[in-house]
Amino acid sequence: MSAPGPIELAGDAAQLAISPVGLPALSRDACHRGQSERWAVAGYSGIEGVMAEMAGSGAAQRVVIVAPRSGQAVSVGRGEQVRVLDADGHQVGDMWAIDAADPGRWLSASHTRDRCERLFPAVGEQFRDQHGVPILQLAADTSPGLHDMLFPPCDRWLYESRRLPGHANCRDNFLAAVASAGISLPIVPDPVNLFQNSGPQPDGRLRIGVAASRPGDAISFLAQRDLVFVLTACSVDYPPLSNGRCGPLRIEVTPATAA
Ligand SMILES: [Zn+2]
């Protein structure tokens, strides 16, 4: 795949106040309006992401832009670093990792919680597959560190329940992305919801706030084996999840020799 050089992401100048977990008690659902106009203004109309190779010091870094309300699958080799950048801030990204050699094994949210004995791994800890074997290491995180590993991807039925038929959704975007990589799975695994601010409250409730990531925040992973890495820029376009708007995300894959 060839493409023009890296895209300059248009950011919202206004930096929005970050709501800590548990303030707006709204459910996780919706995305629309405004985004297409904003991207048109930015000169970016593509639904599909763009892959570019950037000259680095030594090996090339691969960059994939995940456009708003879309998904991308990227091949990542063992030892490579994957960095997910939220350029505009407050954008949730649903992430999956599938074993490239054995697509029947993938990042399992429940096995990761089990082995870490945490709701989300700490930096330096591992995400696991269904056999409890490390598949991805959480290497670094410049965001406030609020992520989710309890929610499924948004799907068509969620939007239909809100009278939004035909709405873009992470489940369908995931299926399209893995299909583009030639993979068919028997189920849609639960994702890792990057930057999603939905931690449990003392009373047991799961209350969703605005994604805590600030413009330019990023989270980085180290591939523990050859992977198909999938990321969707969540399609929920009603508050609070991604602050009532849908933005892009950027994937940067750095070869082991340059990481
Ligand atoms: Zn979503």
Residue 245 · residue 237 · CB < 8 Å: yes
The Å distance, Cα 87 to ligand 1 centre, comes to 18
Question: Residue 53 Cα, ligand 1 centroid: separation in angstroms?
Answer: 28
- Ligand 1 centroid – CA 57 distance (Å): 35
Give the contacts of 2 (CB within 8 A, at least 6 positions apart). none
Cα(86) to centroid(ligand 1), Å? 15
Residues 6+ apart with CB under 8 A from 70: 47, 48, 49, 168, 173, 232, 233
The predicted-structure confidence for 150-165, as pLDDT tens digits, reads as follows: 999 999 999 999 999 9
Q: Distance, CA 153 to ligand 1 centroid (Å)? A: 5
Between the CA of 70 and the centroid of ligand 1 the distance, in Å, is 9
Phi–psi pair at 38, nearest 5 degrees: -65, -40
Distance from the alpha carbon of residue 167 to the mean position of ligand 1, in angstroms:
11
Q: How far apart are CA 54 and CA 21, in angstroms?
A: 37
What number is the average pLDDT over the span 229-247? 90
Q: Is the pTM of this model over 0.85?
A: no
Residue-wise pLDDT for 196-225, tens only, equals: 999 899 999 999 999 999 999 999 999 999
Q: For residue 159, count other CB atoms closer than 10 A to its CB.
A: 22
